[in-house]
Structure 1
Amino acid sequence: MGVDYYNVLEVGRSASDEEIKKSYRKLAIRWHPDKNPNEKAAAEAKFKEIAEAYDVISDPKKRTIYDQYGEKGLNASCDSQNGPSYGSSGSSTFCFNPRDAEDIFSDFFGSNPFDGSGTFGGSANTFKPKTEGAATSTRLRKAPAVERKIACNLEELYTGTKRKMKISREVRTPNGQTVAEHEILTIEVTPGWRKGTKVTFPEKGNEELNQIPADLVFIIDEKPHEVYKREGNDLVVHQKISLVDALAGTTINLVTLDGRNLVIDMTDVIKPNYEFVIENEGMPIAREPGKKGKLIIKFDVKFPSRLTPEQRAGIRSIFG
């Protein structure tokens, strides 16, 4: 069949007129070259393809021919001497002439995305309407982003997780009515993400007249942990031990954020503010899969508040 216009417009073959208009509205704004200044040529080609698809399947006669004969039916010559024509009715013969993307967009939105030379132009999101006489311009602005926080505990940020967020927003139908739309958005939390990481869903905000819907932005927040404190890619643990353990040695038992039992034998003499570092037991590094930060154990040595004469004598005898 050649180009699959239904696929281009992201609708099914049984799509209603309202579904076709809604999809065209969304895709035409998304792929407007002024919204894609870094990939303008590719966006222009996509924009024209979307317009052609809408031109065909929004027109009952063109859609019928396309459904029966495919693209070749639309492109068949109007002149019978050049071969068979498709879609003829009585003495009249159907002839398909693709409309300009400019005209289709202008008819739909009431504004023209092209500049005076017939090429895509103007600043981002600026469309120039067709006018007679005085020149005027309409600016299609984008609403400010809507931000929401997602609170994650350290275990989720360590191992990664999947969050499903149900959103409700207002969308405009082709006839101008406002209706509520509900959707489930999935957020894949990557191991190692930090507080402040943003996940953006473009144009998932409310739709308003003459305004591009806002982006919906989810911002990762970090819940406090009862054992570990995160410092960048490192994890910090504060461990209290007695003076006897600091001098004679001890064993530290920790449960890691992914549920492993970590046993650490301390044989060094531990002084106040002493730190013990274990490589590759910190947080995963999101941009370097397989790598982790450090686990840092900071010791707080508890000194006795008083000693008996016998204890003092014993200490002196031991340390000379």
Structure 2
Amino acid sequence: MSGHYCFRLIEILMTRGGRRLLLLLALAALVALAVAGKDYYEVLGVTRDASSAEIKRAFRKLSLKHHPDKNPGDESAAQKFAEVASAYDVLSDEEKKSKYDRYGEEGLNNAGGGGGHDPFDIFSQFFGGGGRQRREREPSRGPDVVMPLRVSLADLYNGKSLQFSIRRETICHHCHGKGAAHEEDVHVCSECGGHGVKMTTRRVGPGFIQQFQTTCEKCHGKGKIYTSTCPVCGGRKVEMADLNFDVDLEKGTPDGFEVELENYADEMPDQPAGHVRLQVLTAPHPIFTREGDHLWMDMDISLREALVGFNKTFTHLDGRRVDVVRDEITPPRFVTVLKDEGMPKQHLQSEKGQLHIKFHVQFPASLSDEQKVGFRELFSMK
């Protein structure tokens, strides 16, 4: 290496960006040492048949525990954190995980592009840029959609299976989300290498170099160049489609309850679909009002019934005829309670709440002279 290039290298390493590069290289070396010969499943404390959700939970728990920010100056914590990050880098990526399960670390080392993980990708999350974005990071899902599910009170009392239909964007069936007429018409951008961004450096003063990231102008941040357009979706990569499905409502499902349909929202290439959340909205009932597990209803009675008692019936939400019997005076706005005639409890359907019946005494608009005499005699009796 000539003296000119040696001086140039020293000049770069003396800059802030150069010192950062040295730190990244040191951390990368730490990762290589930390994970050599380690079993990634043991590192995360999960079994080999662990689901992706279990792997993610284990990673979050351990990364929070050993994060350098929580353990300043603790080299063992930093090493453990590096092990956890490297293990998750492999086990969270289906392709890498498959190779690791079949061939071990050797399968990752022999894979195209070098080792099974990129240290710069792992540590870029700690330094706010300067490296490539993490390819293995699970993309955030698309936006969730909240839709009303209008039901009757009887549906919630008895339980019901409802048919529901939504119109959503789905991956184009013709181009399979490529956006081009043919797969061979999609090419990796030669300017950014498929990353969608370019790293640019510029001198900002004697001995100082600034590095920054810009969107690739050639592919407009897409990372790919298209030489044709899909005739079905017009390059949008998605098309509209109707989705029909059944929704089972348990007895006692509360108003406002949300039924979550995972990944049923609009689909987008390279991003998991969001969830559809169906929010239960109960239509008003002409007789019953719901309060949690309890029901309320009003019942009109005549003045005579209020004084001498009555035997009345009503039709419940499941079609049963229920008797209401009183043989004593019922004052206006009196409330009687029928046990186990309220709403079924959602997760304990053998039990029900109470039914509250409020009585409203209907007074006559007028009385005949004969009736007045009769009432006077009745109430003058001792």
After TM superposition, the score normalised by the length of structure 1 is 0.61
For residues 39 and 135 of structure 1, do their structure 2 counterparts lie closer, same or farther at Cα, with a shift above 3 Å needed?
closer
Which amino acid in the other structure matches residue 218 of structure 1? L
The aligned runs of 1:213-224 (5 Å cut-off) are: 213-224=273-284
- C-alpha distance in structure 2 between counterparts of 1:51 and 1:289, whole Å: 45
Per-residue deviation, residues 74-119 of structure 1 (Å, max 9, x unmatched): 77xxxxxxxxxxxxxxxxxxxx96348x989xx9xxx9996239xx
Q: Which moved more, 1:165-174 or 1:155-164?
A: 165-174
CA drift at 1:209: 5.0
RMSD over equivalenced CA pairs, Å? 4.2
- Worse overlay, 207-216 or 255-264: 207-216
Structure 2 counterpart of 1:195: 255
**Structure 2 stretches of 5 or more lacking a match?**
1-50, 64-83, 180-236
Specify which structure has the bigger relative contact order, considering alpha-carbon pairs within 8 angstroms and separated by 6 or more residues: 2
Count of aligned pairs: 241
Aligned equivalents of 2:120, 2:131: Cα separation in 1: 14
CA distance in 2, matches of 1:39, 1:201: 30
Whole-angstrom CA distance in 1 between matches of 2:327 and 2:287: 23
Give the drift of 1:52: 5.6
Partners of 2:121 and 2:131 within 8 A in 1: no
Look up the match of 1:204. 264
Larger radius of gyration: 2
> Per the alignment, in what secondary structure is the counterpart of residue 163 of structure 1?
strand
3-state SS of the aligned residue for 2:305?
helix
Q: Which residue of 2 aligns with 1:33?
A: 56
Map of 2:122 onto structure 1: 115
**Contact kept in structure 2, 1:31 and 1:44, CA below 8 Å:** no
Q: What TM-score do you get using the length of structure 2 for normalisation?
A: 0.52
Judged with a 3 Å threshold, the aligned counterparts in structure 2 of structure 1 residues 193 and 53 are, in CA distance, closer, same or farther, namely: same
Q: Which residue does the alignment assign to 1:13?
A: none
> Secondary structure of the residue that 1:246 maps to in structure 2?
helix
Name the residue aligned to 1:175: 178
Q: What's 2:67 paired with?
A: none
Among 107, 115, 122, the residue aligned to 1:98: 107
Show the 5 A alignment for 1:45-124.
47=91, 50-51=94-95, 98-99=107-108, 115-116=122-123
Structure 2 letter corresponding to 1:156: D
Q: 1:182 to 1:44 in 2, by over 3 A?
A: farther
The aligned residue for residue 4 of structure 1 is: none
Could you say if the C-alpha distance between residues 53 and 191 of structure 1 is closer, same or farther in structure 2, counting changes exceeding 3 Å?
same
Q: Which residue of 2 aligns with 1:85?
A: none
Equivalent residue, structure 2, for 1:254: 314
- Are 2:165 and 2:244, in contact at CA under 8 Å, matched by a contact in 1? yes
Structure 1 residues 8-47: aligned runs within 5 Å: 33=56, 37=60, 47=91
Decide whether the 8 Å contact of 2:141 with 2:271 is kept in 1.
yes
- Contact 1:277 1:294 (8 Å CA) reproduced: yes
Structure 1 Cα separation of the partners of residues 120 and 165 of structure 2: 34
**Secondary structure at 2:122's aligned position in 1?**
coil
Cα distance in 2 for residues equivalent to 1:112 and 1:212: 26
| Alpha-carbon distance in structure 1 between the residues aligned to 2:343 and 2:55 | 41
Corresponding position of 1:155: 154
Using the TM superposition, give the Cα deviation of residue 186 of structure 1 relative to its aligned residue in structure 2, in angstroms: 2.7
Moved more, 269-278 or 299-308: 299-308
